[in-house]
Protein backbone atom coordinates (compact mmCIF):
# COMPACT_ATOMS: atom_id res chain seq x y z
CA UNK A 1 0.00 0.00 0.00
CA UNK A 2 1.51 3.31 -1.00
CA UNK A 3 1.53 6.44 1.14
CA UNK A 4 -1.29 8.16 -0.77
CA UNK A 5 -3.58 5.14 -0.36
CA UNK A 6 -2.80 4.94 3.35
CA UNK A 7 -3.55 8.65 3.79
CA UNK A 8 -6.82 8.31 1.89
CA UNK A 9 -7.85 5.32 3.97
CA UNK A 10 -6.93 7.16 7.16
CA UNK A 11 -9.22 10.04 6.25
CA UNK A 12 -12.10 7.59 5.91
CA UNK A 13 -11.19 5.74 9.10
CA UNK A 14 -10.96 8.96 11.13
CA UNK A 15 -14.69 9.51 10.81
CA UNK A 16 -15.50 5.95 11.75
CA UNK A 17 -13.12 6.10 14.71
CA UNK A 18 -14.77 9.28 15.96
CA UNK A 19 -18.17 7.58 15.70
CA UNK A 20 -16.88 4.67 17.80
CA UNK A 21 -14.75 6.66 20.28
CA UNK A 22 -16.29 10.14 20.38
CA UNK A 23 -13.99 11.39 23.12
CA UNK A 24 -11.03 11.33 20.74
CA UNK A 25 -10.39 14.80 19.39
CA UNK A 26 -9.30 15.83 15.91
CA UNK A 27 -5.92 16.64 17.43
CA UNK A 28 -5.70 13.09 18.84
CA UNK A 29 -6.46 11.65 15.42
CA UNK A 30 -3.96 13.94 13.69
CA UNK A 31 -1.24 12.62 16.00
CA UNK A 32 -2.34 8.99 15.58
CA UNK A 33 -2.20 9.10 11.74
CA UNK A 34 -3.22 5.46 11.36
CA UNK A 35 -0.82 4.02 13.92
CA UNK A 36 -2.50 1.30 15.96
CA UNK A 37 -0.36 1.70 19.08
CA UNK A 38 -1.05 5.44 19.23
CA UNK A 39 -4.77 4.79 18.75
CA UNK A 40 -4.75 2.27 21.59
CA UNK A 41 -2.92 4.71 23.84
CA UNK A 42 -5.31 7.56 23.05
CA UNK A 43 -8.38 5.38 23.70
CA UNK A 44 -6.90 4.16 26.97
CA UNK A 45 -6.11 7.72 28.04
CA UNK A 46 -9.52 9.19 27.11
CA UNK A 47 -11.62 6.32 28.45
CA UNK A 48 -9.45 4.83 31.20
CA UNK A 49 -9.65 1.34 29.70
CA UNK A 50 -7.02 -1.33 30.33
CA UNK A 51 -4.77 -2.29 27.41
CA UNK A 52 -6.54 -5.64 26.92
CA UNK A 53 -9.95 -3.95 26.70
CA UNK A 54 -8.66 -1.42 24.18
CA UNK A 55 -7.09 -4.12 22.01
CA UNK A 56 -10.37 -6.06 22.02
CA UNK A 57 -12.32 -2.96 21.01
CA UNK A 58 -9.89 -2.22 18.17
CA UNK A 59 -10.14 -5.84 16.91
CA UNK A 60 -13.94 -5.61 16.95
CA UNK A 61 -13.80 -2.21 15.22
CA UNK A 62 -11.56 -3.64 12.49
CA UNK A 63 -14.05 -6.45 11.90
CA UNK A 64 -16.86 -3.93 11.42
CA UNK A 65 -15.00 -1.61 9.06
CA UNK A 66 -16.78 -2.13 5.77
CA UNK A 67 -14.20 -1.02 3.20
CA UNK A 68 -11.43 -3.28 4.46
CA UNK A 69 -8.98 -0.69 5.77
CA UNK A 70 -7.56 -1.77 9.07
CA UNK A 71 -5.43 -0.26 11.78
Tell me whether residue 36 is in a domain.
Answer: yes
- Per the structure, the complete domain to which residue 49 belongs is given by 3-64
Tell me whether residue 28 is in a domain.
Answer: yes
Residues with Cβ within 8 Å of residue 71, at least 6 apart in sequence: 13, 34, 35, 36, 39, 58, 62
**Segment 10-63, tens digit of pLDDT:** 888 899 999 999 999 999 999 998 899 999 999 999 999 999 999 999 999 988
Q: Could you tell me the CATH number of the domain that includes residue 51?
A: 1.10.1470.10
Give the predicted TM-score (pTM) of the model. 0.80
Tell me whether residue 50 is in a domain.
Answer: yes
Tell me whether residue 55 is in a domain.
Answer: yes
Tell me whether residue 69 is in a domain.
Answer: no
Angle in degrees, CA 45, 60, 38, rounded to 5: 35
Tally the domains of the chain: 1
Tell me whether residue 25 is in a domain.
Answer: yes
Amino acid sequence: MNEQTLKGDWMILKGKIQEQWGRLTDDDLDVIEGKREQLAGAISKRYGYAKEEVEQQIREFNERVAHGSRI
